[in-house]
Structure 1
Amino acid sequence: MSGQLRRIVEMQDWVKVICLGDVVSAYCMESARLPDVIVFDGKTQRAESKFVKEDLLRGMGFGLVEVSNPPGGLSVEAMETLCDAINSYNGRIAIKVNGEEDMLTLAALSCAPANSLIIYGIPNRGAAVVVTNTIISHEVQTRLLRLVPSSIMVQA
């Protein structure tokens, strides 16, 4: 998987490259074109992992932000942090999630600019690769609005 992801990341001048998940992020960091945003939780299939090391991220020029997000859900704070990192931050940023990062893929798909590359891990299968466009962003935004309210955690 590592070589394949590296080729995909390097094959085009993407507006943004966004990696979600520890294993996928570690593989993407091996490419000549570093990701703009990495989202990780320090776990792989709910077990502690050391695929992404914070000191290595800092050494590669990534800013580091921490955010909370519940397993199987989306917190407003996590969604806003990710979308701000994608659209407002002009450097590389790594978001460490206290909780679980899996559902944040939806937020990335909804707010990434067109012609961005989003890569996220699929346990026991590999990785999914999506090139964003306005149709994808609109569709994901519509689906986010249909989520059961308990799936989105509003933290006061």
Structure 2
Amino acid sequence: MPRLKELVERTHPPKIITVGDVVSTEAQVAGIPVSLAIIDGKTMRHGYAPPISKTRVTFHVVNPAGTISQESWQAIKNALKQEAATVIVEGEEDLLALPAILEAQLNALIVYGQPSQGIVIVEVTSQRKAKLAKLLDEIRQESPQAG
């Protein structure tokens, strides 16, 4: 987290979004001002109970493994309108970094854990949004269930 903290102090991103229980907890402990934490109460498929601040707006959603539910996407969109929010997922949050990138404002940071590797930090840019939107459109066209 020291590199993330340094990046935040240097760039002052408009929003910091964490995806995953451990990265959300560690960012909070490091004093990083997380705008949106997306968690599922598990880490590496095992139970995990991250602390949730009572001052945050909380959204509860269902998102089956390997999917991005419309309910989850809408919750992320609504949560980003709040100063501080948590989306608690019943199911799996792994793919929810994707709608977070598409819905977040430019220059926001999306942070997620890469098990046994560390963290990944994605700065939201118009190029990344366009590339991701194109990729998701291609997936939707190939999969009759996607959408």
Q: CA deviation at 1:31?
A: 3.5
Pick aligned residue for 1:137 from 121, 129, 142: 129
Q: Deviations over 1:67-104 (max 9, x none)?
A: 11010111011011112212x22x20011000000000
- Residues 1:77 and 2:71 are matched in the alignment: yes
Give the conservation status (yes or no) of the 8 Å contact 2:59–2:79.
no
Show the counterpart of 1:127.
119
For structure 2, list consecutive stretches of 5 or more residues without a partner in the other structure: none
Aligned CA-pair RMSD: 1.5
The number of residues matched between the two structures is: 144
Unaligned runs of 5+ in 1: none
Task: After superposition, give the CA deviation of every residue in 1:121-145 in whole Å (9 maximum; x if it has no partner).
Answer: 1122111101111111111111111
Q: How does 1:27-106 map to 2 (within 5 A)?
A: 27-50=26-49, 52-54=50-52, 57-58=53-54, 61-86=55-80, 88-89=81-82, 91-106=83-98
Point out 4+ residue stretches in structure 1 off by more than 3 angstroms. Answer: none
What TM-score results when the alignment is normalised by the length of structure 1?
0.85
TM-score, normalised via structure 2 length: 0.90
Counterparts of 2:121 and 2:79 in 1: how far apart (Å)? 19
